[in-house]
């Protein structure tokens, strides 16, 4: 099956999206349809062997839905990965078993398919460029605000990779010096201020400091367990003023970071995705206003901030597109040779 030709017009690609919360698989058609989609919770305490076996099983199940032999397997995965070897690095926010996971080699041997592995944000950016909110763009930034905050940059048509394929960590830029401690060890990173868990922790701090507040009552009603980002979002929708203020502060940090991004990358678009950002559609309008008013010319006039069009499917669709970019897999090799 590794001989399936990429020239076949109606090819399919097997796709795997490995996140901290879900592992998903599907057969992706040439025009971006998902067939035989599967998902299962990521094993947060599993060993490397268990995680690898689960990935192979889901991919195998999704392969059964393909009308033709898939041309290969694209894998999008949480956290930085060496795109040449398909081995994961050890980032914050990644379950323990994921560190050093030899994804590429294992899946290649187990499934007997060509395999390309890349970061989920890179895959999602490629998907937005082909099928979504960045169609036709050569210069754009994809920013996801979810359990973590990550980014991918397409510059002059190419993914910005950096020396080790680890570029794009837009969530690990300090936006609040001396602020909350981040999973990466620094204080006040955008991720420590505006990702879902950071919003939950801010609400918790507020609840503990103000025992009579709505957030404190919410926390008590949940048995005193730490609040989570989506619960703060729900409280804000119900009109809780403290929840609204906490979300507004997170939004202001994201908006200011988007202005920074426009100054640094001069993109045509900033595509905003991730569960936290998707739940706060007003951030898009605020970011556009801030870019117009505060970014440098001419970047301020060029950039448009837009919501993801593909949402949760970006990682899977983009994983399939990794097979369109044969140079991605050997980027690191080319890089070292020069």
- Residue number, 113 or 133, with CB nearest to a copy of itself: 133
Q: Which of residues 184-223 bind a copy of itself (CB under 8 A)?
A: 184-186
> Which segment (63-71, 151-159, 201-209, 318-326) binds a copy of itself by CB under 8 A?
151-159
For 207-236, the DSSP string reads HHH-TTSHHHHHHHHTTTPPP-HHHHHHHH
In the complex, least distance from residue 274 CB atom to a copy of itself, rounded to whole angstroms: 18
CA dihedral 28, 37, 328, 323 (to 10 degrees): -30
Q: How far apart are CA 288 and CA 148, in angstroms?
A: 23
Per CB under 8 A, does 166 bind a copy of itself? yes
User: Applying CB under 8 A, does 155 fall inside the site for a copy of itself?
Assistant: yes
Judged by CB under 8 A, the residue of 138, 209, 211, 326 near a copy of itself is 138
- Contacting residue, 263, 288, 309, 325, with a copy of itself by CB under 8 A: 263
- 67, 12 contact by CB (below 8 A): yes
Q: What are the distances in angstroms from CA 327 to CA 59, 83, 158, 160?
A: 23, 10, 11, 13
Of 12-20, 41-49, 126-134, 159-167, the segment contacting a copy of itself by CB under 8 A is 159-167
Query: Shortest approach of a copy of itself to residue 162 CB, angstroms?
Result: 2
For a copy of itself, which is the closer residue by CB, 233 or 267?
267
Nearer to a copy of itself, 239 or 298 (CB): 298
Burial class from Cβ neighbours inside 10 Å (0-12, 13-18, 19+) for residue 135 reads exposed
Spatial distance between the Cα atoms of 256 and 103, rounded to a whole number of angstroms? 36
- Choose between 1 and 87: whose C-beta lies nearer to a copy of itself: 87
Q: Can you say whether the dihedral through the CA atoms of 167, 285, 231, 274 is positive or negative?
A: negative
Provide, rounded to whole angstroms, the least separation between the CB of residue 138 and a copy of itself: 6
Rule CB under 8 A: say whether 139 interacts with a copy of itself. yes
Q: Is 31 a catalytic residue?
A: no
Sign of the alpha-carbon dihedral angle for 50, 88, 197, 24: negative
Out of 31, 90, 118, 120, the active site residue is 120
The only residue of 63, 172, 201, 206 in contact with a copy of itself, by rule CB under 8 A? 172
Is 260 a residue that touches a copy of itself (CB under 8 A)?
A: yes
Instruction: Please give the structure tokens belonging to residue 122.
Output: 């890179």
Comparison of 16 and 259: residue with beta carbon closer to a copy of itself:
259
Phi, psi of 93 (to 5 degrees): 70, 10
User: Cα separation of 132 and 98, whole Å?
Assistant: 29
Structure-token match 């980032």, residue found: 91
Which of 21, 85, 266, 288 touches a copy of itself (CB under 8 A)? 266
Could you tell me if 320 and 13 are in contact, meaning their C-beta atoms sit under 8 angstroms apart? yes
State the nearest-atom distance from the C-beta of 242 to a copy of itself, in Å.
20
Catalytic residues: 120
The residues that touch a copy of itself, with contacts defined as CB under 8 A, are 80, 89-92, 138-139, 151, 155-158, 160-170, 172-177, 184-186, 256, 259-260, 263-268, 293-299, 302-303, 331, 335, 338
């Amino acid at each position: 099956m590794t001989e399936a030709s990429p020239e076949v017009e109606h090819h399919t690609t097997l796709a795997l999206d490995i996140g901290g919360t879900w592992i998903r698989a599907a057969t992706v058609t040439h025009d971006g349809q998902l067939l035989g989609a599967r998902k299962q919770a990521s094993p947060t305490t599993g060993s490397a062997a268990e995680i690898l076996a689960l990935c192979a099983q889901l991919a195998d199940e999704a392969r059964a839905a393909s009308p033709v032999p898939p041309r290969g397997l694209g894998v999008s995965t949480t956290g930085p990965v060496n795109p040449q070897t398909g081995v994961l690095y050890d980032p914050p926010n990644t379950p323990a078993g994921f560190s050093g996971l030899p994804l590429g080699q294992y899946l290649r041997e187990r499934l007997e398919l060509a395999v390309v592995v890349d970061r989920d944000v890179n895959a999602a950016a490629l998907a937005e460029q082909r099928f979504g909110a960045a169609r036709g763009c050569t210069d754009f930034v994809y920013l996801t605000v979810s359990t973590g905050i990550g980014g991918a940059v397409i510059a002059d048509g190419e993914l910005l990779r950096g020396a080790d394929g680890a570029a794009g960590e837009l969530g690990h830029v300090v936006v609040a010096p001396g602020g909350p401690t981040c999973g990466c060890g620094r204080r006040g990173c955008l991720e420590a201020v505006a990702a879902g868990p950071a919003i939950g922790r801010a609400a918790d701090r507020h609840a503990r400091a103000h025992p009579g507040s709505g957030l404190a009552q919410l926390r008590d009603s949940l048995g005193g367990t730490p609040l989570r980002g989506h619960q703060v979002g729900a409280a804000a929708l119900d009109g809780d003023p403290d929840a609204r203020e906490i979300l507004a502060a997170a939004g202001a940090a994201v908006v200011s970071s988007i202005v920074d991004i426009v100054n640094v990358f001069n993109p045509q678009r900033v595509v905003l995705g991730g569960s936290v950002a998707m739940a706060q559609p007003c951030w898009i309008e605020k970011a556009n206003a801030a870019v117009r008013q505060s970014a440098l010319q001419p970047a301020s006039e060029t950039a448009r901030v837009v919501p993801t069009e593909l949402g949760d499917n970006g990682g899977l669709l983009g994983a399939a597109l990794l097979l369109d970019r044969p140079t991605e897999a050997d980027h690191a090799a080319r890089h070292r040779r020069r």
